[in-house]
Amino acid sequence: MEIEKQGIITTILGSGTCVPSLQRSSCSVLMQIGDARLLFDSGPGTMRRLLEAQTTIFDLDYICYSHFHPDHSAELVPLIFATKYPDQNCRRLPLTIIAGQGLTELISGLKAVYGKWIELAEGMLVFTELDNQSKDSRYFDDFTLESAPVEHNPESIAYRVTSADGSSVVYSGDTDFSENLIELAKDADLLICESAMPDSLHVKGHLTPSMAGEIAARAGVGKLVLTHFYPDCDDVDIKQECRRTYSGPLLLAEDLMEIEVGA
Ligand SMILES: [Zn+2]
Ligand SMILES: [Zn+2]
């Protein structure tokens, strides 16, 4: 008899940025909730990192995009194309693609370029647009997905995933300081938060370690994982900068790092 699995297993697939790096692949996070597999963002290199995490593209049920910058979304085209190999019908269950408003436009733009190469068998690709002006949510068998707009692009949203046993993980995507993110992450077990640049080099539309720490502290999260490190972050003590504002459990993301919350 199969024992019921609970909690959420999160794997950082890519802790990097648009900058090519052998250590840090572009942005992507995998979550496993029971039998469901959710991918958050799919920057270049995601499919290789997925294989390294013992997961194939056919195992994925959902891909949730935080926004459409290429370092977060570009592997969607090769991923759909690869789904057609060796034949059209190798995907048995639909793949649901979720993102903020603008997803439909993005897909029709991609179809204008790639046509049938990115079409799957009838019903195998489902697209869901979430609100990017206010909070939104969807309910699935194994989990609840909530979203809130964040400070980066017009389509940018952060996600909160809550499993049936109440475990919760929040993924910030890219954002500047965001009250919405604090609210979304309230009392979450885990916050995976971008921390693109060191405190001394804050870039509009992104966070620094101490800003991410302030968000985590005010939200009262159980654990904070900083990710999305530009090379400038290699020259400073990121943990120490984050400690200016946050004293709870803290990890710096590395590719293929696994974090489990819940049972
Ligand atoms: Zn971005
Ligand atoms: Zn980014």
**What tens digit of pLDDT does each residue of 25-48 get?**
999 999 999 999 999 999 999 999
Give the Å distance between the CA of 73 and the centre of ligand 2.
10
pTM for the model stands at 0.96
pLDDT, tens digit, for every residue of 110-129?
A: 999 999 999 999 999 999 99
Those residues whose beta carbon sits under 5 angstroms from the ion ligand 1 are 69, 174
Amino acid at position 134, single letter = S
CB 112 within 8 A of CB 125: no
What are φ and ψ of residue 140, in 5° steps?
-120, 175
Q: What was the pLDDT predicted at 1? A: 45
The contacts of residue 108 (CB under 8 Å, 6+ apart) are none
Give the Å distance between the CA of 72 and the centre of ligand 2.
6
Q: Which residues pair with 209 in a beta bridge?
A: none
